């Protein structure tokens, strides 16, 4: 350390320390030299902190710090707080409270370390506390530097009000033109989502976009906000600008591809990574597995998994989840057991995957056994998500009473998702009266959630209580609540096309509608009878049949049939669960038109071929 650095650390004042070394430090073999002076004590303490990789080592360093009288040394405190954040996060707050007293001089290095340490905490309260060190810094007459605002803005990513103030401070001190600060601003505003995404784009548009980091930040922002099509479009702009994407960019594009079900894009990313020599880290491989699996290429996902030299719990879980989505429960269970054999201890997320697999495959006994093993064999307390998987599993298997009993015995209060899962089971298995009771209770407790109104409206429609259904719809309108429309996506020639039920916005909508009518004629000729009970409107049977044929997935399939040669696979991604009429109709379409049709709905994959579905009507 230079003398200049020492002067900054001690404000120009040195004092000699004459104290016996701690017996605790003698046992560690890290005793300071006898009769060490202030500078030697400082150096030795910094050395101890540099080697502190566990809570016990941090406490040993703290003991020496206090024994040597270094509790007011900003440089030593900076290193202590940084070591605590990395090796012993639980100690950070107590140490800050005990040592950061008014007599401690605050320099930019110490303030930045405090902000950064708290910003990296998994606790929202700690991240919010990070922002409090900025005014403390200013009160100490210490000016921020270019490292201050990236840390501060990252800490504010969950707090819009504080984040806007931090942006104003960055403007005031003239740091918004710094590339790192601007990149963090994009990240912060995109984490806020909603209207703030426009602020992120405004920052992006004002920047000199020569760095892949800048493009990746905005692409990631679009993905987090559910605007995956915009993310892909921006990536195309990035390519046209000549900026070489990095690993983070590719992970963002893969996330967008997974969301859109854009299989060709996901495959292209895999080839691009190989061609450009972008490092295939474990994180990137995991993202590729996830994207290929969610786009319907399970074989491709498995090939990436099998080719990985190093696998993490995320790698295994991604494969288990993929098999679960395909309804291949026995294979998912086999991979789960293989993971344990490989010495990878399952975590709570892995158990969600295997429970979901058992649920989709109707493996009730196996699923219950895994649920019990969480606590008994691994000491993992089931979370509400695990209880939700069990309720779904019982409900899908028609065990409505057992599902109700399970809910009543839960150690925590059931959330609305669990109750809605139970209502779905009641509807699927004809327990409409029980479903109505549960939904009414949900409405009383959560009157602002649109799903509860939609469920009750559907129950009334199924029991032909049109007056009550109309009253619920009027209440929804009065509250400004709208039902989420069914939406289906298909990828064709590198472009994603979106269809909404009854929509006429597509450039080829007239041809598509003509194709839908042709499909309806062919299905009737093949003996298909429309499930008019799925039309939850007070219409006659003929009008109900007409309403059914304009569902979004049928429009999407008609479009692909028009635009592709015979035998081409059809892939559709839907935002809602596929209805029973569409499920039956698509089975018939796959036979009549000799096409394999893959539909990913909100719950799972359905692979239709030769008039049958991979889910065996268990969906």
The C-alpha angle 334, 337, 344, rounded to 5 degrees, equals: 135
Q: Read off the pLDDT of residues 54-65 as tens digits, 9 standing for 90 and up.
A: 999 999 999 999
Distance, CA of 28 to CA of 191 (rounded, Å): 45
Specify the pLDDT at position 470.
75
Specify the pLDDT at position 335.
97
Q: Left (φ > 0), alpha (ψ -120 to 50) or beta: where does 12 sit? A: left
Q: Which range among 9-23, 67-81, 106-120, 217-231 shows the weakest confidence by mean pLDDT?
A: 9-23
DSSP 165: H
Q: Please, which pLDDT band fits residue 547 given cuts at 50, 70 and 90?
A: low
Residue with tokens 């601003």: 185
**Which DSSP string do the residues of 536-597 spell out, in sequence order?**
-SS--HHHHHHHHHT-HHHHHHHHHHHHS-TT--EEEEESSPPPHHHHHHHHHHHHHTT--E
Specify the pLDDT at position 23.
39
Specify the pLDDT at position 541.
39
Q: Which range among 196-205, 393-402, 521-530 shows the weakest confidence by mean pLDDT?
A: 521-530
Q: Read off the pLDDT of residues 447-500 as tens digits, 9 standing for 90 and up.
A: 767 777 777 777 776 666 767 777 777 777 777 767 778 899 999 988 999 999
Specify the pLDDT at position 494.
85
- What domains does the chain contain, in order, with CATH numbers? 397-483 (1.25.40), 487-613 (no CATH)
Distance, CA of 573 to CA of 294 (rounded, Å): 9
Distance of CA 256 to the CA centre of its chain: 12
**Residues in the chain, how many?**
619
The mean pLDDT value of the chain amounts to: 86
Three-state DSSP at 479 gives coil
Q: Please, which pLDDT band fits residue 98 given cuts at 50, 70 and 90?
A: confident
574-584: average pLDDT: 86
Distance, CA of 31 to CA of 326 (rounded, Å): 60
585-600: average pLDDT: 94
DSSP 195: T
DSSP 309: S
* Listed residue (413, 416, 485) closest to 448, CA to CA: 416
Q: Who contacts 489 (Cβ-Cβ below 8 Å, separation ≥6)? A: 260, 261, 496, 497, 498, 499, 556, 572, 573, 574
Whether 540 has a pLDDT exceeding 50, the answer reads no
Specify the pLDDT at position 448.
63
Residue 281 near residue 270 (C-beta atoms within 8 A): no
Residue 376 near residue 369 (C-beta atoms within 8 A): no
Distance, CA of 588 to CA of 551 (rounded, Å): 16
pTM: 0.81
Q: Please, which pLDDT band fits residue 618 given cuts at 50, 70 and 90?
A: low
Q: How far from 577 is each of 295, 304, 581, CA to CA, in Å? A: 17, 29, 12
Check residues 370 and 158 and name the one with the higher pLDDT. Answer: 370
Q: Which range among 98-107, 386-395, 582-591 shows the weakest confidence by mean pLDDT?
A: 98-107
Q: Read off the pLDDT of residues 146-169 as tens digits, 9 standing for 90 and up.
A: 899 999 999 999 899 999 999 999
Question: How is residue 136 written in tokens?
Answer: 């403390």
Sign of CA dihedral 509, 511, 512, 517: positive
Burial 529-552 (b: 16+ CB within 10 A, else e): ebbbebbbeeeeeeebbebbbbbb
Specify the pLDDT at position 380.
95
As to burial, measured by CB atoms within 10 angstroms (0-12 exposed, 13-18 middle, 19+ buried), residue 428 is middle
Specify the pLDDT at position 16.
35
DSSP β-ladder status, 570-574 and 597-600: parallel
Q: Which range among 114-128, 163-177, 371-385, 565-579 shows the weakest confidence by mean pLDDT?
A: 114-128
* Listed residue (609, 585, 584, 610) closest to 598, CA to CA: 609
Specify the pLDDT at position 372.
96
Specify the pLDDT at position 568.
94
Residue with tokens 């994603």: 496
* Listed residue (43, 37, 42) closest to 19, CA to CA: 37
Check residues 245 and 457 and name the one with the higher pLDDT. Answer: 245
Q: Read off the pLDDT of residues 404-442 as tens digits, 9 standing for 90 and up.
A: 999 999 999 999 889 889 888 888 888 888 888 888 887
354-376: average pLDDT: 95
Longest dimension (CA), the chain: 100
As to burial, measured by CB atoms within 10 angstroms (0-12 exposed, 13-18 middle, 19+ buried), residue 299 is exposed
Distance, CA of 573 to CA of 261 (rounded, Å): 6
Q: Read off the pLDDT of residues 287-335 as tens digits, 9 standing for 90 and up.
A: 999 999 999 999 999 999 999 999 999 999 999 999 999 989 999 999 9
Distance, CA of 179 to CA of 579 (rounded, Å): 49
Specify the pLDDT at position 533.
46
φ, ψ for residue 208, nearest 5 deg: -85, 105
Specify the pLDDT at position 466.
67
Q: Please, which pLDDT band fits residue 28 given cuts at 50, 70 and 90?
A: very low
12-36: average pLDDT: 40
Whether 539 has a pLDDT exceeding 50, the answer reads no
30-39: average pLDDT: 57
Residue with tokens 């009008």: 543
Check residues 443 and 129 and name the one with the higher pLDDT. Answer: 129
Q: Read off the pLDDT of residues 337-357 as tens digits, 9 standing for 90 and up.
A: 999 999 999 999 999 999 999
Q: Left (φ > 0), alpha (ψ -120 to 50) or beta: where does 464 sit? A: left
Percent of the chain with pLDDT over 90: 57
Q: Please, which pLDDT band fits residue 194 given cuts at 50, 70 and 90?
A: confident
Q: How far from 167 is each of 164, 175, 203, CA to CA, in Å? A: 5, 9, 11
């Amino acid at each position: 350390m230079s003398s200049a650095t020492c002067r900054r650390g001690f404000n120009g004042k040195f004092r000699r320390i004459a104290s016996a070394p701690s017996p605790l430090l003698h046992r560690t073999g890290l005793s300071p030299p006898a009769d060490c002076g202030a500078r030697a004590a400082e150096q030795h303490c910094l050395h101890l902190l540099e080697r502190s990789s566990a809570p016990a080592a941090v406490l040993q360093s703290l003991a020496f710090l206090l024994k040597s009288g270094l509790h007011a040394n900003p440089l030593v405190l900076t290193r202590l707080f940084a070591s605590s954040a990395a090796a012993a996060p639980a100690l950070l707050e107590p140490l800050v409270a005990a040592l950061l007293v008014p007599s401690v001089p605050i320099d930019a290095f110490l303030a930045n370390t405090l902000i950064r340490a708290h910003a990296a905490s998994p606790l929202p309260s700690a991240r919010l506390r990070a922002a409090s060190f900025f005014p403390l810094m200013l009160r100490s007459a210490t000016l921020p530097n270019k490292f201050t605002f990236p840390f501060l803005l990252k800490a504010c990513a969950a707090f819009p009000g504080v984040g806007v103030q931090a942006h104003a401070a960055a403007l005031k001190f003239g740091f918004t033109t710094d590339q790192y600060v601007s990149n963090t601003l994009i990240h912060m505003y995109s984490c806020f989502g909603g209207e703030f995404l426009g602020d992120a784009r405004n920052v992006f548009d004002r920047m000199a976009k020569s760095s892949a980091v800048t493009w990746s930040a905005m692409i990631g922002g679009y993905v987090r906000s559910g605007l995956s099509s915009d993310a892909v479009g921006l990536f195309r702009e990035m390519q046209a600008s000549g900026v070489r994407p990095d690993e983070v960019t590719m992970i963002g594009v893969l996330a967008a591809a997974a969301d859109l079900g854009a299989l060709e894009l996901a495959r292209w990313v895999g080839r691009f990574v190989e061609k450009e020599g972008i490092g295939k880290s474990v994180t990137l491989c995991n993202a590729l597995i996830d994207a290929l699996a969610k786009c319907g290429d399970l074989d491709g996902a498995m090939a990436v998994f099998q080719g990985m030299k190093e696998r993490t719990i995320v790698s295994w879980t991604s494969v288990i989840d993929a098999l679960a989505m395909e309804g291949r429960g026995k294979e998912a269970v086999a991979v789960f057991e293989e993971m344990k054999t490989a010495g990878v201890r399952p975590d709570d997320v892995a158990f969600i995957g295997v429970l979901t697999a058992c649920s989709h495959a109707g493996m009730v006994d196996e699923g219950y056994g895994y649920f019990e093993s969480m606590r008994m064999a691994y000491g993992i307390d089931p979370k509400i998500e695990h209880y939700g998987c069990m309720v779904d599993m019982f409900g899908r298997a028609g065990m409505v009473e057992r599902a109700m009993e399970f809910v009543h015995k839960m150690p925590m209060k059931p959330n609305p998702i669990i109750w809605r899962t139970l209502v779905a089971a009641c509807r699927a298995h004809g327990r409409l009266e029980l479903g109505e009771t549960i939904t009414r209770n949900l409405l009383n407790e959560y009157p602002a959630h649109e799903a509860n109104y939609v469920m009750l409206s559907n129950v009334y429609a199924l029991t032909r209580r049109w007056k009550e259904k109309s009253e619920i719809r009027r209440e929804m309108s009065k509250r400004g609540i709208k039902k989420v429309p069914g939406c289906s996506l298909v990828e064709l020639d590198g472009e994603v096309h979106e269809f909404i039920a009854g929509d006429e916005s597509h450039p080829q909508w007239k041809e598509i509608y003509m194709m839908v009518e042709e499909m309806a004629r062919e299905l009737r000729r093949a003996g298909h009878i429309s499930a008019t009970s799925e039309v939850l409107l007070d219409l006659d049977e003929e009008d109900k049949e007409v309403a059914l044929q304009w569902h979004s997935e049928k429009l999407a399939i008609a479009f692909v049939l028009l635009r592709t040669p015979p035998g081409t696979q059809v892939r559709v991604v839907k935002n809602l669960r596929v209805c029973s009429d569409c499920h039956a109709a698509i089975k018939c379409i796959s036979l009549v038109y000799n096409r394999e049709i893959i539909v990913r709905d909100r719950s799972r994959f359905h692979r239709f071929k030769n008039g049958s579905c991979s889910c065996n009507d268990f969906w």
